[in-house]
Amino acid sequence: MTNRYQRMKMQRRMQRRIRLVVEERRMAFGSGPRATEPVTDLEETAEITPLGDPAVEPGVAPARMPTVERVPVRSA
C-alpha cells in the first residue's frame, strides 16, 4: 500500500506524462503549442462587479435579501 505522498507523486508524474503526450500530438498534427486556446494577457486586471443590484442609487437603501426562517425538525 502506498502512502498519501507517494500517491500524489505518482499522480503528478502521470499528469506530466499525459501533458507531454498531448503536446507531442499537437506538434505532430501541425498545430502549434496551445493553438486552440485564445491568447490572454496574464498581466491584465479583471474588473469585478459587485453582487446585487448594479444600479443602486446613492442615498437609497438597497433591497434586503430574504431571510431563511427556522423550520422545526421532526425526529424520524
The pLDDT value given to residue 71: 73
Q: End-to-end distance of the chain based on CA atoms, in angstroms?
A: 41
Q: pLDDT per position in the chain (76 positions), as tens?
A: 789 999 999 999 999 999 999 999 988 887 665 556 666 776 777 777 766 655 555 555 556 666 677 777 787 6
Give residue for cell 499537437: 26
Q: Which residues contact 22 (CB under 8 A, 6 or more apart)?
A: none
pTM of the entire structure?
0.38
| Angle in degrees, CA 49, 50, 54, rounded to 5 | 90
